[in-house]
Chains A and B, each alone.
Chain A
Amino acid sequence: MKIALVGNQNSGKTTLFNQLTGTKQKVGNWPGVTIERKEGLIIGTKLEIVDLPGVYSLSPYSTEEEVSRHFVMEENPDLIINIIDATSIERSLYLTTQLLELDCDVIVALNMSDILEKNGISIDTRKLSDKLGVSIVSISAKKNLGVDQLIKLIETGKYRKNPRQRIYEQDIERLIAGIEAELPTKHKRFAAVKIIEKDREYKALITEEINQKIITLEASYAMDSEQLIADQRYQYVVRLKDESAKIAKRGETITDKLDKVFLNKYLALPIFALIMGVIYFLAVGLVGGLTIDFIGALFDGSATIDVLGREVPFSIAGLGPLIRAGLGWLGASQWAISLVVDGILGGFGAVSSFLPQLIILFLCLALLETTGYMSRIAFFLDRLFKKFGLSGKSLIPFIVGSGCSVPGIMASRTIENEEERHTTIMLTPFVPCSAKLPIIALFASYFFASYAWLITLSLYFLAIIVILVSAIILRKFMYKGTVSSYLSELPNYHTPNAVYVFRDVFDKILSFIKKAGTVIVLCSIVVWFLASFTWNFQYVDGVLYHIENSILAGIGNALAWIFYPMLEGTWSWAATVSAIQGLIAKEQVVGSLEVIAGLEGNGASVFESESFNFFTGWSSYAFMVFNLFSAPCIAAIAAMRKELGSTKSMVKAILFQTGIAWVLATLIGVIGWVIL
């Protein structure tokens, strides 16, 4: 048995899905968290259930809504669970009236029943069930109330069958019945209504006779048929609501009070800047300052560590030197020791030393998403974004993208206007993602010390400027089109659910560690190999053959001209190959720097090594800028390919991004080189 979970956006579908199936799909407090269908089995049964993106009606408005319409209409589910946000029953039941026109049974799950009383709402579910003609179960997906009854009802099959209620005025119903009788399709009643609405997809089915009848109908109601049907549906819903629900007039809610502050004319922008500032101060400044050196010491060994600019005694042998000694004692050859210590441990260690910062970043992002604040940012920045040819909704991909570009790019599906969506997809990789944070943190903490967090913040502001300017360019030359509209909802503020937040952060960290343990280790081995052998496969031992003779240096030398101006006129094969590896994963840039520096064998830190001691404040800033804005990693490129819909657009996007990155970085480098 196949069951579809259908409901308005942010009505709690995925929360219910997780309860029903025992899975842990991502939930959030903003419209549009779910953008793809997710399938699962109801615990302890063989009932297949499909979680779908939220919809307001079966006339889809954006790409992710089309997924839902397609599923319920074309893939013949045996049952629809229509989840209804009981606190906005009128709009929710509008969708129900459409679902009940399909050839499918419907059970209504009245969600958020636990907070009805608090909201001054009382619903007589038995009466509503009788009037509507379907079974209704009161549930609270969040608190797992009533979910068992829902499962039992589905299992026993003792729910009401679709009653095909007549909800329109008699003359409309007569016309529907007349059209229905002639139709060859499935979902006859639904199709008949669509024909009356003169829906484009059903145009072929409108005969001259039907057309005449529609015109008569429109004349007698003094409105066009599309408006008439919507109006009639709402009239029916209002009758249902008046008969079965009591809704007390609500005073000012907590959400309203909070919005008076967060959406205040003068406070909104400073508060937003403060929140973002605090996030990056915490992640990069405070936690980074506390942990990078400490974790570095664990791997490399040291006598003192740098904590927030102060030298603190911290004597530790370090994992690297220990393994080096251990392997030496076991009689391992020089190159084998180097492979393990410089290659594998060097790359993995460099990347994992940023874990504490990422935990903080992911935690802050999860809080933005679950509290409901993220939708506010989109709401108040819409006016500004509109001027640049974007929508406030572009902000959600950007914020999600500061964790990872891949889900960020996918989140763009909630943007209805195609030009705006494509522009947003191309710009999302400009947002510094969590994998780029290690690059920033490494350079900023070394060259700008206690101002590291300010430098980080400056890069984020630069990213915003680059995004806005690029938006103008793209909208002018590539994605010309009309200004679209902005339709969205402000979800109520919620105290974040600790379990969900924890799980969200945990999942992201786990996948980061997995990546560091697989992709990064693998790349580090390759880099180690290429840097350790010459083109004749002679081991670079530092005596006969030097790292400059290695294969890696050869590759780097072929391309180093690209980076020559931004590195203030330095010919660096090592920086070149490191930047290129950002294509595999951005954190690999750091991994590569560490491996190459480690191979020089004098135990110096990255920026004291011969390969990288040329870096200055200017060239490091330029190098960061290039890595931030150039083509994203392969995973994000694949996501762009999928969402833009063609390889050609993807290639254009990559060229555009890399072009902007190179011009900006070169500009900064040259300023430092020539002018200062």
Chain B
Amino acid sequence: MRERRRHQHRMRLKVGDEGHLSDLESGQKAVVLNFHNDNPALRRRLLDMGITKGVVIEIKKIAPFGDPVDIGLRGYELCVRRADMASIDIKVLE
């Protein structure tokens, strides 16, 4: 519940704003600035999947219940949970 309320009150990030990947809405595009996941195995996997500094990520599809999210990067799409997206710092491009 708490999580949902936070989403409702969240301000839409504008071009040039910095935030977390989980803050973006469908169709927005952002560049990855940094990424700090505590779980080493998951961090490794996200790196392998191409989430590195400077990569451009677009929010493609959001699951009907709001989570997980299908993101587009490097010419393919990947489904990630919002909780894991929160560990990725971004700057909004579009």
Using a CB–CB cutoff of 8 Å, the interface residues on chain A facing chain B are 56-57, 59, 61, 87-91, 94, 223, 226-227, 230-231, 234, 247, 256, 259, 263-266, 268-269, 379-380, 382-384, 386, 392, 416, 483, 485-490
Q: Are B64 and A269 in contact (CB under 8 A)?
A: yes
B83 interface residue per 8 A CB criterion: yes
A488 vs B77: C-alpha distance in the bound complex, in angstroms? 9
Q: Are B79 and A489 in contact (CB under 8 A)?
A: yes
List 6 tightest A-B contacts by C-beta distance, closest first. Answer: A88-B76, A57-B48, A383-B65, A268-B64, A230-B47, A90-B74
Mask, B40-53, CB within 8 Å of A = 1, is: 01111111111011
B interface majority secondary structure? mixed
A226 vs B35: C-alpha distance in the bound complex, in angstroms? 12
18 extra interchain contacts, Cβ-Cβ under 8 A, other than A61-B45, A227-B47, A259-B61? Answer: A59-B44, A61-B44, A90-B50, A90-B74, A227-B53, A231-B52, A234-B52, A247-B75, A380-B63, A382-B67, A383-B63, A386-B67, A386-B81, A485-B80, A486-B80, A487-B80, A488-B79, A489-B77
Residue among B42, B65, B79 making CB contact with A384, cutoff 8 Å: B65
Q: Are A90 and B76 in contact (CB under 8 A)?
A: yes
Q: Measured between C-beta atoms, what is the minimum distance from A117 to chain B in Å?
A: 16
B23 interface residue per 8 A CB criterion: no
A386 vs B63: C-alpha distance in the bound complex, in angstroms? 13
B15 interface residue per 8 A CB criterion: no
Known contacts A56-B49, A227-B53; is-contact A487 B78 (Cβ 8 Å) = yes
Q: Which residues of B contact A59 (CB under 8 A)?
A: 44-45, 48
Q: Are A485 and B53 in contact (CB under 8 A)?
A: no
Q: Which residues of A contact B67 (CB under 8 A)?
A: 382-383, 386
Q: Which residues of A contact B76 (CB under 8 A)?
A: 87-88, 90-91, 489
Q: Are A56 and B79 in contact (CB under 8 A)?
A: no
* Closest B residue to A223 using CB positions: B53
B66 interface residue per 8 A CB criterion: yes
Q: Which residues of B contact A89 (CB under 8 A)?
A: 75
Q: Measured between C-beta atoms, what is the minimum distance from B29 to chain A in Å?
A: 13
Q: Are B83 and A485 in contact (CB under 8 A)?
A: yes
A interface majority secondary structure? helix
Q: Which residues of B contact A483 (CB under 8 A)?
A: 83
Residue among B41, B44, B45, B74 making CB contact with A91, cutoff 8 Å: B74
Q: Measured between C-beta atoms, what is the minimum distance from A251 to chain B in Å?
A: 13
A231 vs B46: C-alpha distance in the bound complex, in angstroms? 12
Q: Are A380 and B75 in contact (CB under 8 A)?
A: no
Question: Which of A56, A234, A264, A416 is most buried by chain B, counting CB atoms within 10 A of its CB?
Answer: A234
Q: Are A382 and B68 in contact (CB under 8 A)?
A: yes
Q: Are B50 and A485 in contact (CB under 8 A)?
A: no
Q: Which residues of A contact B39 (CB under 8 A)?
A: 485
A-B contact pairs, 5 of them (CB 8 A): A56-B45, A61-B41, A87-B75, A379-B79, A487-B84
Q: Are B49 and A380 in contact (CB under 8 A)?
A: no
Q: Which residues of B contact A265 (CB under 8 A)?
A: 64
B70 interface residue per 8 A CB criterion: yes
Q: Are A226 and B81 in contact (CB under 8 A)?
A: no
* Closest A residue to B35 using CB positions: A227
Q: Measured between C-beta atoms, what is the minimum distance from B53 to chain A in Å?
A: 6
Q: Which residues of A contact B52 (CB under 8 A)?
A: 227, 230-231, 234
Known contacts A89-B75, A380-B64; is-contact A485 B42 (Cβ 8 Å) = yes
A384 vs B65: C-alpha distance in the bound complex, in angstroms? 8
Q: Which residues of A contact B46 (CB under 8 A)?
A: 487
Q: Measured between C-beta atoms, what is the minimum distance from A194 to chain B in Å?
A: 12
Q: Measured between C-beta atoms, what is the minimum distance from A245 to chain B in Å?
A: 10
